[in-house]
Amino acid sequence: MAEVVLFHHALGLTPGVTAFADDLRAAGHVVHTPDLFEGETFATLPEGVRNAERIGFGEVIERGVRAVRDLPAELVYAGFSLGVLPAQKLAQTRPGARGALLFYSCVPASEFGTAWPDDVPVQIHGMDRDPIFADEGDLDAARDIVARSKSAELFLYPGDQHYFADLTLPSYDREATTLLLRRVLDFLD
């Protein structure tokens, strides 16, 4: 059993994020889902991004850091898109991290002042033609982490959707999500 902190995407802590967390719980894992937007959810990515910009991306990250303050150090940090920011920072910088699961996003490891730690395994998942993941630098950052780390894996899925594992959204891809979930559960076991 693993203990996981799962950070939501820019739409907020939606039923799709909660459903994914429930899938992990059903497999026997403890999953925390902090709400970085204090109850707000958004219908579109542009609305959610505007909210994150209003809050400030640094503050979004710090809300994630504060959310785990009272949790044990031995956590797996997971994030969907915007939620990758606090997940990646914590996995790279909080002592005791057990792993990281980065969905649809990845930033250069140098963003958090250090190389990816070799003792923290990471899986990075995204669609190969997702305009955000593939064309805005995330895929390049993921490939760099994989090239420099002994414990990093990159999984690309065919398609062009960003939020492909959120079953409540039109972008949901059941086949890709089934494979992603199997890989995540293998990682957590």
What is the average pLDDT across 22-45? 97
Arithmetic mean of pLDDT over the chain: 97
Residues 91-132 pLDDT 10s: 999 999 999 999 999 999 999 988 999 999 999 999 999 999
Task: State whether residue 13 is helix, strand or coil.
Answer: coil
pLDDT interval class at 156 (50, 70, 90): very high
Given this model, what pLDDT does residue 22 score? 98
Domain ranges across the chain: 3-188
pLDDT tens-digit readout, 76-95: 999 999 999 999 999 999 99
Averaged pLDDT for residues 72-77: 97
Burial class (CB in 10 A: 0-12, 13-18, 19+), 73: exposed
Q: Please check whether residue 7 is in contact with residue 86, taking contact to mean a CB–CB distance below 8 angstroms.
A: yes
pTM equals: 0.96
Q: Which CATH architecture has domain 3-188?
A: 3-Layer(aba) Sandwich (3.40)
**pLDDT (0 to 100) of residue 114:** 84
The pLDDT value recorded for residue 188 is: 97
134 pLDDT exceeds 90? yes
Predicted pLDDT of residue 189: 92
The set of residues, in sequence order, having a beta carbon less than 8 Å from that of 38 and lying 6+ positions away, is none
Q: What are the φ and ψ backbone dihedral angles of 59, each rounded to 5 degrees?
A: -70, -35
